[in-house]
Chain A
């Protein structure tokens, strides 16, 4: 069965530190990859997505992610975090053939940024 694994469940960083959140998926075919973020008290919202092309994708608020096909990974990065980045981050995969919106989510990573 398809699955998504996020290795870090709870990350604590100081402001200005660099961030990397790991995400691995298990599916051998074509995948579409997403990172969603849930700020305290807010809806899930899309940070960035990868479908094809340049494996390094840039999203909102200075986030980027790199797709490494050989490692089945899609890690999220930010060079310098801010207190406002405190949130829960979800990696998600859509492994359908095209006509499906089914997203498989990782367990999520809670990021706490200390001012």
Chain B
């Protein structure tokens, strides 16, 4: 079974631009969560989607948004990029949206903002 895939793997953007990251969950998984990983803040929860609905949102500004499609694929968007948005963005999928579900992580998208 193929794992979680994320595209692109690497991205360089300029301050003020916007970016869209994509995540394809494991086949059959209906929940997708996004996390931001930085050396200073560690792994922080961004949001979670299940059946095209946002179930939960972390403590990030409104510039960070996401969506989920009917095939469970998910995208996250960051508008008006800031230098501090440079990070590894991880996507994780699970069968359903449950507190006991194992989350399977993708390789991440490394975003660099210059």
Interface residues in chain A, defined as those with a beta carbon under 8 Å from any beta carbon in chain B: 32, 34, 36, 43-46, 49, 51, 90, 92, 94-108
Contacts and interface: CB of A to CB of B under 8 A. Distances in A.
B42 A94 contact: no
A104 B46 CA distance: 11
Contacts of B92: 44, 101
Q: Chain B contact residues (Cβ within 8 angstroms of A): what range?
A: 20 to 34
Contacts of B105: 36, 43-45
Contact of A102 (B3, B33, B100): B33
Contacts of B102: 34, 46, 49
Interface of B is mostly: strand
A113 B55 CA distance: 40
Interface of B: 3-4, 31, 33, 35, 42-45, 48, 50, 55-56, 58, 90, 92, 94, 97-108
Contacts of B99: 32, 94-101
Given A43-B3, A44-B90, A99 B98 contact: yes
A101 B43 contact: no
A90 B43 contact: yes
A54 B99 CA distance: 18
B86 to A, nearest CB: 18
Nearest to A30: B99
Contacts of A97: 99
A99 B42 contact: no
20 contacts: A32-B100, A34-B102, A43-B3, A43-B4, A44-B105, A46-B102, A90-B43, A94-B100, A95-B99, A96-B99, A99-B98, A100-B97, A101-B50, A101-B98, A103-B43, A103-B45, A103-B103, A104-B45, A105-B42, A106-B42
Given A44-B92, A46-B104, A106-B42, 20 more contacts: A36-B105, A43-B3, A43-B106, A43-B107, A43-B108, A96-B99, A98-B99, A100-B48, A101-B31, A101-B33, A101-B50, A101-B97, A101-B103, A102-B45, A102-B58, A103-B35, A103-B43, A104-B45, A105-B35, A108-B42
B42 A107 contact: yes
